[in-house]
């Protein structure tokens, strides 16, 4: 069964066709990032206007190798995201589903970030994760821990009390004048900044699975403000120490959560899941506890429509079993 997925929650305009929930037949992502860079963040009005311009072309590219006739259902990101951007994707998907007389499935794109771990990855020969699992979503807008019992049962058990992890990366990059988005550049320069001199604190929020990243961001701000000189090597050291604090918090909470819930599968998703230090530290810690940890391939960590189409298939199957009919 081939499902068309559409994702327009932020700056991307994405469409993909996925077969039976895991084989990616096409995956097209267009980004308006270059139009936002000079403002240091995403401008919602620019994002939705670009999406209006791009959506026809992007979907056409995604479905042309498969053929419109072979699409069995349309899945679309319904929340969370920028309201104008979501509106473009939802309106397009609704009209298209109506025109081809197929069901429309609405998807929570935060859950879909974790579903990216179930998409086929022939090259790496990664085995499929098994549910129940603990899921950590670390994106620009979310840092959430979920207990996932089934594809229609994501229980929120921890969240950030302030900034999301990706948001903290972006704000720290702005403090250090590194440009937007901050995650990839901090990931890169932190590799040259290893040191034991700078220590940034991180809120531990004991007795909960919640995170807090605004304190470490403020600590970076005051540390940077006090500096008399700011050369590349000092900036790399700050980036390293900031990243170390954030990653330690993400790793410790996720592993503790798996241990407390007695769950041996951990899924990671969202843009920050592309971070090389998070990937290596999480794999190390999970290995010690015999927990199997899964990361999506790099291109599926960031917003994409394959994860929407994949999760859409699972929701379609579950709803059909329970009587089917109306999905959206
Ligand atoms: O999941 P995503 O594409 O969009 C949202 O749903 O928010 O995540 C975007 C976020 C940005 O904050 C970006 O700085 C961060 O992911 N990011 C990274 C890396 N690549 C992207 N953060 C840390 N390390 C990276 N390599
Ligand atoms: Zn996202």
Q: What is the pLDDT of residues 193-248, one digit of tens each?
A: 999 999 999 988 988 999 999 999 999 999 999 998 889 999 999 999 999 999 99
Structure tokens at 260: 């407390």
29 lines ligand 1 (CB under 6 A): no
DSSP state of 128: P
Q: How far apart are the first and last CA of the chain?
A: 19
Look up the pTM and report it.
0.95
Please report which confidence band the pLDDT of residue 123 belongs to, taking 50, 70 and 90 as the band edges: low
Measured distance CA(208)–CA(266) in Å, rounded: 18
Choice from 14, 166, 281 to test ligand 1 binding pocket (greatest atom count within 8 A of CB) = 166
Query: Checking DSSP bridges between strand 143-150 and strand 153-159, what pairing results, if any?
Result: antiparallel
State yes or no: pLDDT of 124 exceeds 80.
no
Kindly list the protein residues that place their beta carbon closer than 5 angstroms to ligand 2, a single-atom ion. 139, 303
Name the residue at shortest CA distance from atom 23 of ligand 1.
183
Give exposure, 280-310, as e/b (b: 16+ Cβ within 10 Å): ebbeebbeeeebebbbbeeebbbbbbbbbbb
Sheet order of strands, 2-7 included: 23-31, 12-19, 2-7, 71-79, 104-108
Q: Is 312 helix (H, G, I), strand (E, B) or coil?
A: helix
Query: Which H helix or E strand runs over 319?
Result: helix 306-321
CA 72 to chain centre: 26
Name the residue at shortest CA distance from atom 3 of ligand 1.
302
> Can you state the angle between helices 214-226 and 165-175, rounded to 10 degrees?
10
Q: What's the CA-to-centroid distance between 58 and ligand 2, angstroms? A: 18
- pLDDT score for 326: 52
Q: What's the CA-to-centroid distance between 136 and ligand 2, angstroms? A: 13
Q: What is the 3-state secondary structure (H, E, C) of 29-86?
A: EEECHHHHHHHCCCCHHHHHHHHHHHHHHHHHHHHCCCCHHHEEEEEEEEECCCHHHH
Query: Which H helix or E strand runs over 97?
Result: helix 83-100
State the average pLDDT over residues 265-282: 98
pLDDT tens profile 143-153:
999 999 999 99
310 lines ligand 1 (CB under 6 A): no
Structure tokens at 187: 């990931």
80 lines ligand 1 (CB under 6 A): no
Q: What's the mean per-residue pLDDT of the chain?
A: 95
């Amino acid at each position: 069964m081939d499902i068309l997925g559409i994702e327009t929650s932020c700056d991307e305009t994405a469409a993909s066709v996925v077969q039976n929930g895991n084989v990616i037949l096409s995956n097209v992502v267009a980004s308006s990032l270059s139009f936002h860079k000079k403002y240091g963040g995403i401008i919602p009005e620019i994002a939705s206007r670009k999406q209006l311009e791009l959506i026809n072309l992007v979907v056409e590219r995604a479905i042309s190798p498969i053929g419109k006739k072979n699409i069995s259902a349309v899945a679309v990101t319904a929340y969370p995201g920028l309201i104008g951007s979501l509106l473009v994707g939802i309106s397009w998907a609704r009209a298209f589903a109506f025109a081809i007389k197929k069901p429309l499935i609405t998807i929570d794109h935060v859950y879909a970030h974790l579903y990216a771990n179930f998409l086929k990855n022939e090259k790496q020969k990664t085995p499929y994760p098994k549910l129940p699992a603990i899921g950590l979503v670390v994106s620009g807008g979310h840092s959430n821990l979920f207990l996932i019992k089934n594809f229609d049962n994501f229980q929120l058990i921890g969240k950030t009390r302030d900034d999301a992890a990706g948001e903290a990366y972006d704000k720290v990059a702005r403090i250090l004048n590194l440009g937007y988005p901050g995650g990839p550049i901090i990931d890169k320069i932190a590799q040259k900044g290893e040191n034991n001199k700078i220590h940034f604190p991180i809120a531990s929020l004991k007795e909960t699975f919640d995170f807090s990243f605004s304190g470490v961001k403020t600590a970076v701000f005051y540390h940077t403000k006090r500096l008399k000189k700011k050369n590349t090597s000092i900036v790399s050291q700050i980036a390293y120490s900031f990243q170390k604090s954030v990653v330690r918090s993400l790793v410790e909470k996720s592993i503790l959560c798996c241990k407390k819930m007695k769950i041996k599968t951990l899924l990671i998703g969202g843009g920050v899941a592309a971070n090389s230090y998070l990937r290596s530290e999480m794999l190390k810690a999970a290995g010690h506890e015999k927990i199997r940890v899964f990361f999506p391939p790099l291109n599926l960590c960031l917003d994409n429509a394959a994860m929407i189409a994949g999760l859409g298939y699972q929701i379609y199957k579950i709803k059909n079993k329970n009587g089917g009919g109306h999905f959206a």
